[in-house]
């Protein structure tokens, strides 16, 4: 440290990171004020991918909105479908058969594993471990996408859920294939965890970086792994069990400090817990007899006048759909509470005081998808 007076005088400088930068996870711009290498202020600018999702939904019928929800967070189309289907089911008071509920849980938990595997791959990619860890994550994701393809007919835009069930029953070879996938999963998760825990560079890049204290996290109403990384055991599956989550035994992992490293570990642990839920769900899965997992799947519905809000624990946080019905074929109002968008708001607080190179890592640790942020 040089004595005062001899230090080089620096000036604050405004620079743009994005919107067309590969590490901003989509068209996202950060207006960064830097003093040398240190972040003084950061202003997130988004809206480049705005495509009028909520307004379009007010023109389409309830059923026609289902494939549009796939395209919110295109990594977890199944979770989006579930949140929307639940909102309409609450509005129209539709019962979901037992088997359909289990199929839904299996699909959403697979989505969670898929999302965390690829999100962590991208996070390590952002830290500079170019491509290889991402390829590990993608390899695992591909196996799950193959299951989705054989069940729903599409890999990403599944459009599998319907009001009161799911569109088609599981294919006959689904359960054995899922079981063999679950057998191989712990090896992958352990290997992935070792990659960060035993790598000095990655630990230096992540420990103590992007700290989000508990109080700040709550005041920004952050949810999902980011909130749990800050040490608050809040999981909607436990706090307000929806669907059949009260029948499963699983833990809610939490972090201690709230830095990038904690968020990484929380996601790793969540994959293990999802595997536990999947194993229990497969054991309890009712037989296909009794037919009908989708009694009202094909019909256009007209829910009674009223409103409904449902929320689920999507892999990225609390995903909620608010619907107002005026008794017609189309929703009168349709609002999405997107976890990516709300988790992005404390970004400037998380980045202030760190270096420019850390911004990319912190952004990666929030795990955003711009399709959901901008809608």
Partner 1 sequence: MFGELLKGLQTTLRYMFRPPVTVQYPDVKRPVRERFRGRHELKRFANGQERCIGCSLCSAACPADAILVVPAENNLEQPTSPGERYAATYEINMLRCIFCGYCEDACPTNAIVLEHQYELSFYDRQTSIYTKDMLLVPPDQGHGEIPPILTQLGDKRPSPPAQIDL
Minimal distance, residue 197 CB to partner 1, in Å:
13
Q: In this complex, which beta carbon is closest to partner 1, that of residue 23 or of residue 150?
A: 150
Nearer to partner 1, 154 or 285 (CB): 154
How is residue 105 written in tokens? 């849980």
The footprint of partner 1 (CB under 8 A) covers: 60, 63-68, 71, 92, 94, 139, 142, 146, 149-154, 157, 159, 167-168, 171, 200, 291-292, 296, 298-303
CB within 8 Å of 70: residues ≥ 6 apart: 77, 80, 81, 156, 157, 158, 159
111 in Cβ contact with 79 (< 8 Å): yes
| Helical segments of the chain, H only | 53-59, 66-70, 77-92, 98-126, 132-152, 174-197, 200-206, 214-219, 225-229, 236-239, 260-284, 339-344, 347-351, 356-366, 370-374
For residues 32 and 327, what is the distance between their CA atoms, to the nearest angstrom?
48
| Distance of closest approach, residue 115 Cβ to partner 1, in angstroms | 20
Nearer Cβ to partner 1 (168/337): 168
Q: How far is the CB of 294 from partner 1 (least distance, A)?
A: 9
Q: Coil, helix or strand for 27?
A: coil
Per-state percent for the chain, helix, strand, coil, to nearest 5: 50, 15, 40
CB closer to partner 1 out of 31 and 63: 63
- Nearest distance, CB of residue 159 and partner 1, angstroms: 5
Phi, psi of 28 (to 5 degrees): -135, 135
Bridging pattern class, strands 29-35 and 333-337: unpaired
Residue 216 CB, shortest distance to partner 1, in Å, is: 36
Shortest Å distance, C-beta 65 to partner 1: 7
CB of 57 to partner 1, least distance (A): 10
Residue 362 to residue 345: CA distance in whole angstroms: 12
Cβ distance to partner 1 smaller for residue 81 or 125: 81
């Amino acid at each position: 440290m040089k004595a005062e007076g001899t230090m080089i005088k620096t000036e604050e400088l405004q620079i743009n990171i994005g919107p067309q930068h590969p590490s901003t996870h989509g068209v996202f711009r950060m207006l960064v004020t830097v003093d040398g290498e240190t972040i003084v202020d950061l202003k997130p600018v988004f809206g480049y991918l705005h495509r009028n999702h909520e307004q379009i939904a007010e023109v389409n019928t309830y059923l026609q909105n289902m494939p549009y929800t796939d395209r919110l967070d295109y990594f977890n189309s199944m979770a989006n479908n579930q949140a929307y289907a639940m909102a309409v089911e609450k509005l129209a008071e539709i019962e979901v058969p037992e088997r359909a509920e289990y199929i839904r849980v299996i699909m959403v938990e697979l989505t969670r594993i898929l999302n965390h595997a690829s999100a962590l791959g991208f996070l390590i990619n952002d830290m500079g471990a170019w491509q290889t860890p991402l390829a590990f994550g993608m390899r695992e994701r591909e196996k799950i996408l193959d299951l989705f393809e054989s069940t729903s007919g599409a890999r990403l835009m599944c459009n599998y859920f319907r009001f009161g069930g799911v569109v088609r029953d599981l294919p006959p070879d689904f359960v054995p294939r899922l079981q063999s996938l679950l057998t191989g999963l712990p090896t992958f998760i352990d290997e992935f965890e070792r990659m960060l825990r035993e790598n000095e560079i990655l630990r230096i890049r992540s420990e103590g970086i992007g700290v989000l204290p508990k109080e700040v996290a709550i005041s920004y109403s952050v949810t999902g792994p980011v909130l749990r990384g800050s040490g608050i055991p809040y999981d909607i599956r436990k706090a307000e069990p929806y669907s059949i989550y009260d029948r499963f035994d699983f833990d809610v992992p939490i972090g201690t400090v709230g830095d990038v490293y904690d968020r990484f570990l929380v996601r790793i642990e969540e994959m293990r817990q999802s595997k536990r839920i999947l194993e229990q769900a497969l054991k309890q899965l009712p037989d296909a007899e009794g037919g009908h997992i989708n009694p009202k799947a094909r019909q256009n519905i007209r829910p009674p006048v009223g409103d409904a809000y449902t929320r689920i624990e999507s892999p990225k946080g609390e995903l909620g759909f608010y619907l107002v019905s005026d008794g017609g074929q189309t929703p009168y109002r349709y609002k999405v509470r997107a976890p990516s968008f709300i988790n992005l708001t404390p970004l400037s607080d998380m980045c202030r005081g760190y270096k420019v190179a850390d911004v990319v890592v912190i952004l990666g640790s929030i795990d955003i998808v711009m399709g959901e942020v901008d809608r």
